Amino acid sequence: MRNTVPEISRLEGIEVARKAVEVASDKQAGNIVLLDVRELCGFADYFVICAGDSQRQVRTIYDEIQQELKKENVRPHHHEGTPDSGWLLIDYGDVIVHIFDTAQRDFYKLDELWDKAGTVLRIQ
């Protein structure tokens, strides 16, 4: 008989963050940044921030990150935003993924807001 209890993910926060970066890069996201916010933030360890050139690309990046992490039994706790708002957020607990359209990415400048965070990775 098959075990019906779902397997719990063994991925650490940094591995979840790196997987999100990898998927975003594969989907041609721009201006990708992985920030270590552990010393500054009580609600997450890492932020992944990236941008898409269109609503369609923003949605594709969002969908693909969720699909790939689901394969690792990592599911979001929460998500916010819509592609037409120019911003989508996926909350994986230790990792928050921010996917913006280019205009919103330039407007909100989260990297500058969190400039005291350590930059783990930046892909221009």
pLDDT tens profile 6-45: 444 568 999 999 999 999 999 999 999 999 999 999 999 9
Superfamily of domain 13-115: Beta Polymerase, domain 2 (3.30.460.10)
Q: What is the pLDDT of residue 11?
A: 82
Q: What is the pLDDT of residue 103?
A: 95
Long-range contacts of the stretch 72-76 (C-beta < 8 A, 24+): 72/9, 72/11, 72/16, 72/19, 73/6, 73/7, 73/8, 73/9, 74/9, 74/11, 74/16, 74/19
User: Residue 97: is its pLDDT beyond 70?
Assistant: yes
Q: Which of 10, 2, 116, 3 is nearest to 69 (CA)?
A: 10
Measured distance CA(104)–CA(53) in Å, rounded: 11
User: Residue 124: is its pLDDT beyond 90?
Assistant: no
Q: Tell me what the mean pLDDT of segment 105-109 comes to.
A: 94
Beta bridge partners of 79: 90
Q: What is the pLDDT of residue 6?
A: 47
Cβ proximity of 104 and 86 under 8 Å: yes
Mean pLDDT of the chain: 92
Measured distance CA(108)–CA(85) in Å, rounded: 13
Q: What is the pLDDT of residue 123?
A: 94
